[in-house]
Structure 1
């Protein structure tokens, strides 16, 4: 039951109407039933669901264990076992020798269930959170708007929304419907158009490789292919997030934001505070901070702290890349992202030392510096995502033909291709004062109905025309 299907729309509208009068245990039970129905639509048979359910039951047993703390190091042991089972179920390469289950099974939603489950284990084990009842645990882990690809929400606000669903006036209702339709358009129209053009560049790039084209030609084709893939990924994933947040709002659950104008980021740290925000925050709280604390305990030197932070950042992004998938392509993506953010952090540390804090801050506020940094950041992220659309052997062939100089030229081209159009768009919006307009600024029932109707008509014509598959990229992770 894809988000962009008519079946899902009917499912949501009917369920949202039925859920309105429900409170307490009735509301929780109804949400669990909805979650089961939604998850079941992705699972081929009851047997295929057994490993997923067993993993979830093991997670609740871990919560009971860490709450009672009858075993030494209960939290660490629970986390280790859950992560190990997750790796085994996902069939990472280094567990290939371990026997696998003798039947096909469902993995849909498993990665995001793991994040929510580890959050509960760590918080309950620390005493910061009371163990939820089993029904609330199931409602939280399988909450269907966030089941496939997040956002990764915390249990505390979800628990509050179960008891006291967020209300909705006419303004909130309009903003929710508008957000759902805009998200739908991002995925099924904008994303599909970008993907078609990106695949055209990818095909031309392969043809240029086979034909022995010059490295400037290869660099140009690769640069536009890589840049377009980042744009496609943003349209696809942010569109899904818009739809998930809107659907959650219909059920009185306020899901966290996952994107905040990432193309306005001025460095790598800024980018990751704007892109897949809930994933970045999860890794910061539960991986980066503990790792940095551990390293600082081993190296008692104030001068070493910035460099320990750089090392911790690199390891965090390698692990983040490996979480995305079990193939070497994802590990390479994580390593490239880690290299980018580590070099950026080292650059900041060293330049601050050489120039002084105030002169360096003054430098970073200069418009030319900001736009150059913005372009280079987006270019490197595009390069790091290359394994998402070119297999590792293909990357090796591209590097062999274009050389390091080709990739450097591609970075320069991508930097300019991102920075200049964004600069023009931002300046134009400011001149027209369009940057001050939002959904909440649109008043009048007639105007709102016209906007919603226009979006529905656009989708009704465009989606069949594009023959949109409307799959979510992050659903595969």
Structure 2
């Protein structure tokens, strides 16, 4: 979608047209009516085109589950499992007929509704549709949470000011430069040449660094375009990257890299796992162990939700393992002043930064599927 020049033309023209119509109507257009109009057009015209049967069936399926959960016909955990079922079957290649563009993040948004929709929130069919099929974040996020969506969409009126329009264009242009200049240069000049060479240590180092930078610029560029596009329609889509190259440790890295999904997995995976483990006597007496189990499960999901292919499983295990090691070092430091003093030395802090980025680069290279693993 973001590779199509006509899409950007339609995007800017639609925002200006709807803003003009809204002004003629005395700013009485609601966010929901405004955005749903664009969502309907963008989703079916630019994303699905003639392949609309599966998206319609998936929407009906997920909306039916949400309705059953609201009416207390099924429990929350049952509704979550049922919502995840099509995605799991597709990832396991057990039912590819349910595969569709944007299935993963649409499913995650459906789960977010099940877990975080308040009873006072509207049960509007149109609101649920627009949230699940939000065109700007349909393909790869960022993870736009239900609570933020409700705050954005229920504002009394929409006004597209000159400042907002210019800020949106600036962020979209920034994303275009990241994705179509930096990412493409890295891909064309490095990855395309080195990816076919027999694996050696040098190839591994070059590819780890190149793919990490490529993934950052490609995904950060996409995210910035999505955020800028959302602003044109009054949506506060969250930031997804914050200079991960400055990360001090693995925990800090995931606060900077794919931020929205990291935070969502923290709420949906880590907290339930940790809270349930704390009900067991052993884990109540060993809280660090409960934390490590929760951390590993969360970061493992960061890699493995893409599928159960070896590269995703191994990279997810590395994400989790590295973060558990870091958490254990912090646990030891709290109990040993000597280790705390040692870790706070400038040299060790720089070593920590280098090891964090090196381990992240290796994990992402494995994640890419281009490594020998």
Tell me if both proteins adopt one fold, taking TM over 0.5 as the criterion.
yes
Written as runs of structure 1 = structure 2, the 5 A alignment for 1:24-103 is 28-40=32-44, 41-43=46-48, 45=50, 48-71=51-74, 74-88=75-89, 90-93=90-93, 96=94, 101=97
- Residue 171 of structure 1: how far off its partner (Å): 4.2
Over 3 Å counting, the alpha-carbon distance change for 1:179 and 1:44 in structure 2 is closer
Query: 1:44 offset after TM fit, Å?
Result: 5.6
Q: Look up the SS of the partner of 2:372 in the other structure.
A: helix
Query: How far 1:312 sits from its partner (Å)?
Result: 1.5
Instruction: State the match for 2:331 in structure 1.
Output: 349
Counterpart selection for 1:174 from 161, 166, 176: 166
Contact kept, 8 Å, 1:19 with 1:251, in 2: the verdict is no
Q: How far is 1:369 from its partner?
A: 2.5
Task: Give the CA deviation at 1:118.
Answer: 0.4
Indicate which of 213, 217, 226 corresponds to 2:208: 226
- 2:181 aligned residue: 189
Alpha-carbon distance between aligned partners in 2 of 1:128 and 1:346, rounded to the nearest angstrom: 40
Number of aligned residue pairs = 366
Task: Please say if residues 34 and 233 of structure 2, whose CA atoms lie closer than 8 Å, have aligned partners that are also in contact.
Answer: no
Pair member with larger Rg: 1
Deviation per residue, 1:16-63 (Å, 9 max, x gap): 012214467775345334223323323363xx4323222222222222
The aligned counterpart of 2:354 is 375
CA distance in 2, matches of 1:166, 1:370: 47
What CA distance in whole angstroms lies between the structure 2 residues aligned with 1:173 and 1:43? 27
Aligned pair 1:277/2:259, yes or no? yes
Kept in 2: contact 1:3–1:9 (CA 8 A): yes
Check 1:228–1:299 CA distance in 2 against 1; reply closer, same or farther (3 A cut).
farther
Equivalents in 2 of 1:364, 1:172: separation in Å? Answer: 45
**Contact map agreement 2:269 2:294 (CA 8 A) in 1:** no
Given candidates 139, 144, 163, the residue that maps to 2:135 is 144
CA contact (8 A) 2:250 2:326 kept: yes
TM, length-normalised to structure 2: 0.89
Distance in 1 (CA, whole Å) between partners of 2:11 and 2:171 is 15
Structure 1 66/129 Cα, relative in aligned 2: closer, same or farther at 3 Å?
A: farther
| Per-residue deviation, 1:176 | 2.2
Change (3 A) 1:306 1:191: same
Q: Which has the higher contact order (CA 8 A, sep 6+)?
A: 1
Equivalent pair of 2:277/2:283 in contact (CA under 8 Å): no
Unaligned runs of 5+ in 2: none
In structure 2, what is the Cα distance between the partners aligned to 1:51 and 1:186? Answer: 33
CA contact 2:195–2:207 (8 Å) conserved in 1: no
Q: Report whether the alignment pairs 1:395 with 2:372.
A: yes
Structure 1 position 330, deviation (Å): 1.1
**How far 1:364 moved relative to its partner?**
4.5
Hey, what's the Cα distance between the residues in 2 that align with 1:84 and 1:62?
Answer: 12
Say if 1:314 and 1:342, in contact at 8 Å, map to a contact too. Answer: yes
| Structure 1 residues 61 and 30, CA gap change in structure 2 (3 angstroms) | same
**Separation in 2 of the partners of 1:123 and 1:171?**
33
- The aligned residue for residue 113 of structure 2 is 120
User: What's the TM-score, normalizing by structure 1?
Assistant: 0.71
